[in-house]
Amino acid sequence: MIRAMIETSLIDWDGKLTTVLFFDKCNFMCPFCQNWDLMLNSEKFPLIEWRDIERKLLARKKWIDGVVLTGGEPFVYGEEVLSVSRGVKAMGFLLKIDTNGSYPDALQELISKDLVDYVAMDIKAPLDERYNEAAGRNIDIKKIERSVRLLMEGRVNYEFRTTCVPGMINEGTLGEIGERIRGARTWVLQQYVPENAYDEKYRQLTAVTAGEARTFVDIARRYAVNAKWRGRSGN
């Protein structure tokens, strides 16, 4: 269900002006999540009906490039993602989806139906038991691996993105992740935002310094065709 909307955004798809739609649930509970209020207290946010979204998109048709589906995790609502994506594409907009990568079947369906133009997939930690701490849940790492493989087939433009959470992401763990995505098209490293993190402990951590960020990007460049730093992010 969609419960929040940014009507015009310059920061949710590099180089594109977008409208951003937020789905209100997630199957993870990352301790550093910034959008936990929407997910845990969703009744505070009124539902936004598709007809209202459609009306607002049509009013912006001349200057909006695309629509971003984010959350939460959009694929918690697989059928709704399909129908919203069909509606968005029928209006002639580009579509981006942000995902935690734990729904490879739904992702594959969206790609095979040509309903998505860009996928941003989180890679939160090395692909082993450490992922559970980053996700705040015991997760099926095979599903993350399947989504990685699917995107690396290159049928849709994509980025992997890693939030540089202190204690979780360092030169060593970045190298471990890099080995699993070697040859990826784009790997974006994101600044850690302590304020408003879901877990109180994570609000005490400090953001990555400029020097660390440069070192991290240099490491990512060994593995991905494009590697870059992104200043601030909600995930």
Whether the ω angle into residue 175 lies within 30 degrees of 0, i.e. cis, is: no
What is the nearest approach in angstroms of ligand SF4 to the Cβ of residue 58?
Answer: 28
Q: In what order do the strands lie in the sheet with 224-230?
A: 2-9, 18-23, 66-70, 94-99, 118-122, 157-163, 184-190, 224-230
CB 227 within 8 A of CB 221: yes
Which CB, 19 or 102, lies closer to ligand SF4?
102
Q: Does 125 bind ligand SF4 (CB under 6 A)?
A: no
> What's the first-to-final CA gap in the chain, in angstroms?
19
- 55 vs 215: CA distance, rounded Å: 46
Q: Does 73 bind ligand SF4 (CB under 6 A)?
A: yes
What is the nearest approach in angstroms of ligand SF4 to the Cβ of residue 97?
Answer: 13
Q: Does 131 bind ligand SF4 (CB under 6 A)?
A: no
What is the nearest approach in angstroms of ligand SF4 to the Cβ of residue 54?
Answer: 25
β-partners of residue 94 are 66
Q: Does 123 bind ligand SF4 (CB under 6 A)?
A: no
Q: Does 26 bind ligand SF4 (CB under 6 A)?
A: yes
Q: Does 233 bind ligand SF4 (CB under 6 A)?
A: no
Judged by the rule CB under 6 A, the positions of this chain that interact with ligand SF4 are 26, 28-30, 33, 35, 71-73, 100, 235
